[in-house]
A and B are shown apart, each in its own frame.
Chain A
Amino acid sequence: MFFTLLISGLVIGSIYGLIALGYSMIYKSSGLLSFMQGDIMTLGAFLGITFYSYAGLPFPVALLLVVLISIALGFAIEKGVIRPLLNKNTMAIYIVLATIAVSYIVQNGSMLVWGTITLNFPSIFGISTIKVGNISFQPEALMCIVVGFFCMFLLQIFMNKTRIGTSMRAASMDAMAAESCGIDVSLSTGLSWGLSAGLAAIAGMLIGPIYGVYTTLGATIGRKGFSSAVIGGYGNMYGAIVGGILLGLVETFGTSYVSSTYRNLIAYVLLLIFLLLKPTGIFNEKAIRS
């Protein structure tokens, strides 16, 4: 029982972590809040089904395609919607509202294309369960945890060890200084939005086979990902991961030992506790301007 719960906690936790990473990246790069993460995740899952199941592409190829399309989409949204608003000196709250608008367009658009019923993401490994001792679990669950963690690890390397990552970090710390160091801040901000969308799409491809794919899949998970980012320390990369895993575990164990009716209650009470008592999150990210 414990291990089964641990696995499902880690599965949903790593999904929350991936979504939270996207929130944090966008916040870091633009100082903005984007509410599109969840619905881009749904879109990723739908695209995944299309490429993998309908077009018959191998899963890794489908995953790569979905990620590339989503990165392009995120980049386009930044350039086509966010940047023009920023150039008009719009207040931040209007940009947040614009991201909500985009998220509903993505959500309803997917409904138009893929319909309202829950689609089954066909099994990826051809076997339905793995048995270790007396614990059994879906191989897709294991993949979700492994790939989820791998992506987070890869992103850390990308941001900290590569030149593009370093220039993206520089651009997010101080746009003006980065520009005068020869960094195209507009390009780097677009890339951040693109990568965030890419992360969300990966999350969709990973959770799809476990939860099934439906138009509101990302709505709840998106909000929980947001909570994870806050719990970890909004804008902090490590915080996003730790916050996601923590929320996933607390939620899963909580619902199992208390009641599954209160799944969301647990998650959002935890969010409120953090907002009230420790708004800087576990990693003490300065969310409040001094």
Chain B
Amino acid sequence: MLEANGVTIKFGGLVAVNHVNLKIRDKQITGLIGPNGAGKTTFFNCISGVYTPSEGTVIFDGRHIEGLRPYQICQAGISRTYQVINLFWKMTALENVLVGMHPRMKGGFLTDMFKTPAVRREEKEAKEKAYEWLKFVGLEKYANDPASSLPYGGQRLLEIVRGLASNCKILLLDEPAAGMNSGEKEEFDRLLQKILDMGVTILMIEHDMKLVMHICQYIYVLEYGKLLAEGVPEEVQNNPEVIRAYLGGED
């Protein structure tokens, strides 16, 4: 579904991501792990259009997407969340989801202003749909509260559901469980399963190994911008290279 071939990202002389090949399988959760500074987020930024790769290709559904602008990549069907939560803080939770639904809405400058019945109906449906999305992650009671007033875990969920609202095919999650307590993490684990059941494919950067090993079907490990290992959770867990990278070398 999504394939990165030999992706390299250089900043001046620094090679942040070095010839990474990665394949995301349809309707699965793929994990991307690695020590801090391994280039995981940089790689994400490349898939989502924030950076253009210096070398290599990114192919999504048979189409080259490297070098496209972020909004074009979103419109193509890839949504993302950020490590540092990136919401529209002054908008309500519902409005945030409505903005997320943007790629699916039929524009219309004049019809918007004059509120034809068709526009009214579409807007009403959009609001109901947005409310449904909030319900999906259990945030409906915050619908009309500004995003900034939500509890931390709620803000994470809101960012995820804003991404889902675009009806994306792939959701990129950058450390979604960071800052969640163990109860919230269990609930999050169930939510990921629900998202998968909807037919959405997920690529997730995450540091919580318990969560990653439990839910990801396939895992890629990055270190110093290079692919260190890949495989199903058991393989990765028992890979001596990965253990070395995480626990420090024997020599």
**Counting CB contacts under 8 A, is B80 at the interface?**
yes
**Proximity bits, A124-164, B CB within 8 Å = 1, else 0:** 00000000000000000000000000000010011001111
Contact of A179 with B82 in the complex, beta carbons under 8 Å:
no
Report the bound CA distance from A20 to B31 in whole Å.
50
**Counting CB contacts under 8 A, is B74 at the interface?**
yes
Report the bound CA distance from A183 to B91 in whole Å.
16
Contact of A182 with B113 in the complex, beta carbons under 8 Å:
no
* Closest A residue, CB atoms, query B77: A182
Q: Contacting chain A: which of B32-40, B96-104, B217-225?
A: B96-104
**Counting CB contacts under 8 A, is A166 at the interface?**
yes
**Counting CB contacts under 8 A, is A192 at the interface?**
no
Whether A163 touches B107, Cβ cut-off 8 Å, given contacts A174-B88, A180-B80, is: yes
Q: What is the minimal beta-carbon distance from B70 to any residue of chain A, in angstroms? A: 4
Contacts of B113 in A (CB 8 A): 154, 157-158, 162
**Counting CB contacts under 8 A, is B71 at the interface?**
yes
Contact of B112 with A162 in the complex, beta carbons under 8 Å:
yes
Q: Which of B90, B99, B107 contacts A181 (CB 8 A)?
A: B99
* Closest B residue, CB atoms, query A191: B109
Q: What is the minimal beta-carbon distance from B53 to any residue of chain A, in angstroms? A: 17
Contact of B48 with A180 in the complex, beta carbons under 8 Å:
yes
Main secondary structure, interface of A, reads helix
Q: Which of A161, A167, A176, A184 contacts B99 (CB 8 A)?
A: A167
Contact of B102 with A176 in the complex, beta carbons under 8 Å:
no
Contact of A167 with B102 in the complex, beta carbons under 8 Å:
yes
Interface centre among A164, A170, A182 (most CB of B within 10 A): A182
Q: Which of A158, A164, A166, A184 contacts B95 (CB 8 A)?
A: A166
Contact of B71 with A170 in the complex, beta carbons under 8 Å:
no
Contact of B48 with A170 in the complex, beta carbons under 8 Å:
no
* Closest B residue, CB atoms, query A175: B70
Contact of B86 with A184 in the complex, beta carbons under 8 Å:
no
Contacts of B49 in A (CB 8 A): 179
* Closest B residue, CB atoms, query A186: B69
Contacts of A164 in B (CB 8 A): 107, 109, 112
Count how many chain B residues have C-beta atoms less than 8 Å from C-beta atoms of the other chain: 32
Contact of A179 with B86 in the complex, beta carbons under 8 Å:
no
Contact of B99 with A166 in the complex, beta carbons under 8 Å:
yes
Interface centre among B70, B100, B108 (most CB of A within 10 A): B70
Report the bound CA distance from A158 to B88 in whole Å.
18
Q: Which of A158, A182, A186 contacts B103 (CB 8 A)?
A: A182
Report the bound CA distance from A165 to B108 in whole Å.
11
**Counting CB contacts under 8 A, is B54 at the interface?**
no
Report the bound CA distance from A273 to B163 in whole Å.
45
Contact of A184 with B71 in the complex, beta carbons under 8 Å:
yes
Q: Which of B50, B102, B109 contacts A183 (CB 8 A)?
A: B102
Report the bound CA distance from A201 to B107 in whole Å.
26
Contact of A174 with B71 in the complex, beta carbons under 8 Å:
no
**Counting CB contacts under 8 A, is B178 at the interface?**
no
**Counting CB contacts under 8 A, is A101 at the interface?**
no
**Counting CB contacts under 8 A, is A61 at the interface?**
no
**Counting CB contacts under 8 A, is B191 at the interface?**
no
Contacts of A174 in B (CB 8 A): 86-89
Contacts of B48 in A (CB 8 A): 180
Report the bound CA distance from A167 to B75 in whole Å.
14
**Counting CB contacts under 8 A, is B209 at the interface?**
no
Report the bound CA distance from A46 to B112 in whole Å.
31
Task: Give the 9 A-B residue pairs with the shortest CB-CB distance, closest first.
Answer: A182-B103, A179-B70, A182-B74, A162-B112, A177-B86, A170-B99, A173-B88, A182-B75, A184-B71
In the complex, given contacts A174-B86, A182-B71, A182-B75, what are 4 additional A-B residue pairs having Cβ atoms less than 8 angstroms apart? A166-B98, A173-B90, A181-B162, A182-B74
Could you list 9 examples of A-B contacts with CB < 8 Å? A163-B105, A173-B89, A174-B86, A176-B82, A180-B79, A180-B163, A181-B99, A181-B103, A182-B166
